[in-house]
Amino acid sequence: MHGVDVLVNTNYYLKSKIFEGLGDLDVFACLVSAACHDVGHPGNNNPFEINLESELAVRYNDISVLENMHAAKTWEILKRPGCDFLEGRSVAERRRFRLVLIEAILATDMSKHKRQQDMLAELIDDLAVAGIDLELWGQSDSEDAEEEHKDNDLIENNMEDQKAMENQLTADQQAEIRQPSVFDNKQELALVLLPLAVHTADLSNPAKSLPIYQIWASYVMEEFWAQGDKEKEKSIPVTQVYDRDKTDLPTCQTGFINHVIKPWFDLWTRLLPEKHAGPLFSENVNINLEFMKKELERIKAAKEKMLTVHADIKQEEKNSSTSNTHNQQNITESKEDNKSPETKPSSTKNEDNNANNHTTIRSEHSNTNKEIEPIPSSRGREFRNSVLNATFDDILKTQILKQQRDMEELRKRQMQLDEGTQIDETDVSHHNHKERDNNNPSVNANTHQ
Shortest reach from residue 31's CB to Zn ion, in Å: 15
220 vs 443, beta carbon nearer Zn ion = 220
Q: Is 5 in the site for Zn ion (CB under 5 A)?
A: no
183 vs 256, beta carbon nearer Zn ion = 256
38 vs 231, beta carbon nearer Zn ion = 38
Shortest reach from residue 426's CB to Zn ion, in Å: 44
Shortest reach from residue 38's CB to Zn ion, in Å: 4
Q: How many residues bind Zn ion (CB under 5 A)?
A: 2
The three-state secondary structure class of 295 is helix
Measured between alpha carbons, how far is 278 from 124 in angstroms, rounded to an integer? 14
The three-state secondary structure class of 340 is coil
Shortest reach from residue 71's CB to Zn ion, in Å: 13
Stretch that binds Zn ion, among 19-27, 36-44, 268-276, 313-321 (CB under 5 A): 36-44
Shortest reach from residue 108's CB to Zn ion, in Å: 6
7 vs 169, beta carbon nearer Zn ion = 7
- In angstroms, how far is CA 433 from the centroid of its own chain? 38
Q: Is 109 in the site for Zn ion (CB under 5 A)?
A: no
202 vs 231, beta carbon nearer Zn ion = 202
Q: Is 38 in the site for Zn ion (CB under 5 A)?
A: yes
Round the CA-based radius of gyration of the chain to a whole number and report it.
34
| Residue ranges at the known binding site | 2, 37-38, 202
3-state secondary structure 101-119: HHHHHHCCCHHHHHHHHHH
35 vs 78, beta carbon nearer Zn ion = 35
| Residue ranges at the known binding site for Zn(2+) | 2, 37-38, 202
Q: 420, exposed or middle or buried, with CB in 10 Å at 0-12, 13-18, 19+?
A: exposed
Measured between alpha carbons, how far is 207 from 200 in angstroms, rounded to an integer? 10
41 vs 335, beta carbon nearer Zn ion = 41
The set of residues, in sequence order, having a beta carbon less than 8 Å from that of 400 and lying 6+ positions away, is: 211
Footprint of Zn ion on residues 201-240 (CB under 5 A)? 202
| Number of CB atoms found within 10 A of residue 413's CB | 13
- In angstroms, how far is CA 431 from the centroid of its own chain? 34
Shortest reach from residue 413's CB to Zn ion, in Å: 30
DSSP secondary structure of 394-447:
HIIIIIIHHHHHHHHHHHHHHHHHHTT----HHHHHHHHHHHHHHH-HHHHHHH
Shortest reach from residue 103's CB to Zn ion, in Å: 16
Footprint of Zn ion on residues 169-208 (CB under 5 A)? 202
The three-state secondary structure class of 301 is helix
| Number of CB atoms found within 10 A of residue 36's CB | 22
| Number of CB atoms found within 10 A of residue 135's CB | 12
Query: What element of type H or E holds 98?
Result: helix 91-106
Measured between alpha carbons, how far is 167 from 143 in angstroms, rounded to an integer? 17
Measured between alpha carbons, how far is 322 from 326 in angstroms, rounded to an integer? 6
106 vs 299, beta carbon nearer Zn ion = 106
Shortest reach from residue 318's CB to Zn ion, in Å: 52
Which residues contact Zn ion (rule: CB under 5 A)?
A: 38, 202
